[in-house]
Amino acid sequence: MVRTLAERRFPVKKLVALASAKSAGKKLVFNGGEVTVETMTPASFTGVDVALFSAGAGPSRELAPVAAKAGAVVIDNSSAWRMDPDVPLVVPEVNMSAAANRPKGIIANPNCSTIQMVVALKPLHDAARIKHIVVSTYQATSGKGQAAVEDLMQQTRAAVSGQAVVPAVFPGQIAFNVLSDWKAGEGDYSEEELKMVNETRKIMGDDSIGVSPTAVRVPVVNGHSESVHVQFHRPMSAAEAKKLLENAPGVVLMADAYAPGKHPQPIHVAGADPVYVGRIREDLAVPGALNLWIVGDNLRKGAALNAVQIAEHLFPA
d(CA 136, CA 227): 5
CATH superfamily assigned to domain 113-298: Dihydrodipicolinate Reductase; domain 2 (3.30.360.10)
Is 112 one of the annotated active-site residues of the chain? yes
Which pLDDT score is estimated for 42? 87
Hey, CA dihedral for 31, 36, 40, 41, is it positive or negative? Answer: negative
CB 194 within 8 A of CB 186: yes
Q: Between vectors from CA 241 to CA 82 and to CA 226, what angle results, nearest 5°?
A: 45
Q: Which residues of the chain have pLDDT under 50?
A: none
pLDDT number for residue 317: 76
Long-range contacts of 25-31, Cβ-Cβ distance < 8 Å, separation of 24 or more: 28/2, 30/2, 30/5, 30/6, 31/6
What pLDDT is recorded for position 310?
Answer: 97
pTM across the whole model:
0.94
Domain extents in the chain = 2-109+304-314, 113-298
CA gap 50, 71 in Å, rounded: 9
**Contact 12/1 with Cβ under 8 angstroms?**
no
Residue 138 CA to residue 295 CA, distance in Å, equals: 9
User: Residue 56 has what pLDDT?
Assistant: 87
User: Looking at residue 216, what is its pLDDT?
Assistant: 98
Q: How many residues does the chain have?
A: 317
**Which architecture, in CATH terms, is 2-109+304-314?**
3-Layer(aba) Sandwich (3.40)
User: Are the CB atoms for 112 and 224 separated by under 8 Å?
Assistant: yes
Q: Are 232 and 219 in contact (CB under 8 A)?
A: no
Q: Are 286 and 280 in contact (CB under 8 A)?
A: no
pLDDT score recorded for residue 91: 98
* pLDDT score of 149: 98
Would you put residue 21 in left (φ > 0), alpha (ψ -120 to 50) or beta? alpha
DSSP β-ladder status, 130-139 and 290-296? unpaired
98-143 residue pLDDT tens: 999 999 999 999 999 999 999 999 999 999 999 999 999 999 999 9
Residue of 112, 125, 263, 313 marked catalytic: 112
Count of beta carbons in the 10 Å neighbourhood of residue 36 = 11
What per-residue confidence (pLDDT) applies to 16?
94
Position 238 scores a pLDDT of 98
Q: What is the pLDDT of residue 101?
A: 95
Catalytic residue among 224, 229, 233, 313: 224
Beta-carbon contacts of 78 under 8 Å, excluding residues fewer than 6 positions away, are: 53, 54, 55, 56, 57, 59, 60
**Residue 4 burial (CB count, 10 A):** 20
Looking at residue 55, what is its pLDDT? 86
